[in-house]
Amino acid sequence: MKLDVVLGLQWGDEGKGKIVDVLAGNYPIVARFQGGPNAGHSLHFEGKSFVLRSIPSGIFRKDAINVIGNGVVLDPITFRKECENIEATGVPVKERIAVSKKAHLILPTHRLLDAANEAAMGKGKIGSTLKGIGPTYTDKVSRNGLRVGDILASDFQERYGKLKARHVRTLSQMQFDCNPDAEEAEFFAAVDYLRQFRLIDCEYFVNKELDDKPILAEGAQGSMLDIDYGSYPFVTSSSTACAGACIGLGVAPSRIGHVYGIFKAYCTRVGSGPFPTELFDETGEKLRKIGNEFGAVTGRPRRCGWLDLVALKYAVMISGVTDLIMMKSDCLDSFPVIKVCTSYKVNGQETSQVPFDTYASIEPVYTEFKGWNADLTGCRSESELPEAFRNYIAFMEDYLGVPIKIISLGPDRDATIMR
Ligand code: IMO
Ligand code: MG
């Protein structure tokens, strides 16, 4: 069977949680393969709402196993809080979650380093979620990191002490005022909690299960935050594209099936970095208000702008997207004119490519659509969709060369049209 992948195609916050929750009904296994608690995946069903950070969005589906893959960075403290929160609603999380022994651990001092790095960058800061993501991946790549499997070793405490000492030296060199011991007791208690979970050899587990079961891989962040293909350096520290699912779970590229690419009908970005279609006027304000564009993790207001098809087509190419999923077009219901960026002007030259220097002066060139001026939120089938809206969809499919297979018209599980 195949590994199908769900990816965000923009700057994160596309609605991956909702879609994975909807699709999870068809998959006995859901797996996260990169990122960590910088993600905030929101789920709404039966009048309840949850924001998931490290736990895959299949957790509320009975009989689904939720894998935290080796490409993920896991903060035991956040993970424990998240699990206990869900456990309190009667979900048997320990039965439904399996964690790769090769996933790297976020220490409390990784979070302090994240804050120290950002403070040192001043105005040029990344706008990180400050969850310790960058410093943990840095330790992974520089071969200093601690992994989930290490918590089973008798000398774990000692290894922790060694890594912490390195961090403390750096923090003091950076003259960052903090208490590195503050969360240590909570960290070790959370590590004890983590030991109660099924710790797996993810690559063996996933490949064996794929023999007779389909698996859904759940991406975090978005293509434009990818460490290689995003607007570097204003990116996250992992591979958010489809290839990341292979590395982050130990699966060969030939096993990939559908690649579901999720995008919102407009764009948002939190944190710093280039955003060619950003709106600084009341239209942007209106998008933020109607779309409730405030960070699920940090509460920060998200920057808003028109849909950027140049960036979207780039993301489709990098990941080989086979099925598009469009979110939140209902948020455009009341706009008389809807714009989509179909090319860039870079130094006066028109192009349909994302330039190397994303800080070059990019001027978006727009195609305008007359708004459909109708309430889409109640639509549950294709035939109920207004013609102006269907034309708009057809235009996008034509531009991107990939069919839009799912249209989401509200946060709830049910507000979804399958095409
Ligand atoms: P989900 O999975 C939106 C952004 C941060 C910052 C940059 C680097 O909910 O879509 P990091 O903490 O990773 O070092 O931050 O990436 N960022 C996200 N933006 N949604 C996310 O996740 C994000 N995860 C990281 O705002 O600009
Ligand atoms: Mg988010």
What's the whole-model pTM score?
0.96
**Measured over all CA atoms, what is the biggest interatomic distance in the chain, rounded to whole angstroms?**
66
User: Looking at residue 56, what is its pLDDT?
Assistant: 97
d(CA 36, CA 220): 8
pLDDT at 412 over 90: no
User: Looking at residue 298, what is its pLDDT?
Assistant: 81
pLDDT digits (tens, 9 = 90+) for 172-210: 999 999 999 999 999 999 999 999 999 999 999 999 999
For residue 121, with 0-12 CB atoms within 10 Å meaning exposed, 13-18 middle and 19 or more buried, which class applies? Answer: middle
pLDDT at 359 over 80: no
User: Looking at residue 296, what is its pLDDT?
Assistant: 83
| DSSP alpha helix (H) spans, 195-308 | 202-210, 243-249, 282-290
Of 265, 239, 250, the closest CA to residue 319 belongs to 239
CB of 271 sitting under 6 A from ligand 1? yes
| pLDDT band at residue 360 using 50, 70 and 90 as cut-offs | confident
What tokens appear for 283 in the block?
A: 């239209």
pLDDT at 274 over 80: yes
Is 44 designated active site? Answer: no
Question: What sign does the dihedral 279-284-285-291 (CA atoms) show?
Answer: negative
Q: How many CB atoms lie within 10 A of CB 337?
A: 10
Atom of ligand 1 nearest to the CA of 297: 9
Which residue is closest in CA terms to ligand 1's atom 11? Answer: 128
CA angle 246, 251, 253 (to 5 degrees): 65
- What does the pLDDT average to over 286-308? 94
Helix H or strand E segment including 118: helix 108-121
CB of 12 sitting under 6 A from ligand 1? yes
105, 146 Cβ separation under 8 angstroms: yes
CA angle 218, 201, 248 (to 5 degrees): 35
387, 304 Cβ separation under 8 angstroms: no
Pair type for strands 65-68 and 73-74: unpaired
CB of 220 sitting under 6 A from ligand 1? yes
CB of 40 sitting under 6 A from ligand 1? yes
Is 13 designated active site? Answer: yes
CA 303 to chain centre: 17
CB of 295 sitting under 6 A from ligand 1? no
CB of 386 sitting under 6 A from ligand 1? no
d(CA 69, CA 282): 42
pLDDT digits (tens, 9 = 90+) for 50-99: 999 999 999 999 989 999 999 999 999 999 999 999 999 999 999 999 99
pLDDT at 213 over 90: yes
Pair type for strands 337-346 and 362-370: antiparallel
- What does the pLDDT average to over 23-31? 95
CA 341 to chain centre: 23
What tokens appear for 316 in the block?
A: 């489709």
Residue with tokens 């809080």: 81
Q: Which ligand is nearest to the CA of 37?
A: 1
pLDDT digits (tens, 9 = 90+) for 298-349: 889 999 999 999 999 999 999 999 999 999 999 999 999 999 999 999 988 9
Percent of the chain with pLDDT over 70: 100
Cis peptide before 364 (omega within 30 of 0): no
User: Looking at residue 361, what is its pLDDT?
Assistant: 86
First to last CA, the chain: 23
Of 50, 54, 61, the closest CA to residue 22 belongs to 61
User: Looking at residue 166, what is its pLDDT?
Assistant: 98
Helix H or strand E segment including 418: strand 416-418
3-state class (DSSP) for residue 44: strand
d(CA 156, CA 146): 9
Q: Which one of the listed residues 4, 21, 41, 308 is annotated catalytic?
A: 41
Task: Output helix, strand, coil percentages for the chain, rounded to the nearest 5.
Answer: 35, 25, 40
3-state class (DSSP) for residue 129: coil
Which residue is closest in CA terms to ligand 1's atom 23? Answer: 221
pLDDT at 104 over 80: yes
Tell me, in angstroms, the distance from the centre of ligand 1 to residue 240's CA: 11
Q: Which ligand is nearest to the CA of 231?
A: 1
Atom of ligand 1 nearest to the CA of 130: 12
Question: Which region, left, alpha or beta, applies to residue 144 given φ > 0 means left and ψ of -120 to 50 means alpha?
Answer: alpha
Residue with tokens 């998959």: 27
**DSSP secondary structure letter of residue 184:** H
Percent of the chain with pLDDT over 90: 94
Q: Which ligand is nearest to the CA of 38?
A: 1
Question: What sign does the dihedral 8-9-14-20 (CA atoms) show?
Answer: negative
| pLDDT band at residue 297 using 50, 70 and 90 as cut-offs | confident
Strand partners, 303: 269
Tell me, in angstroms, the distance from the centre of ligand 2 to residue 302's CA: 10
What tokens appear for 159 in the block?
A: 């290894």
d(CA 167, CA 173): 10
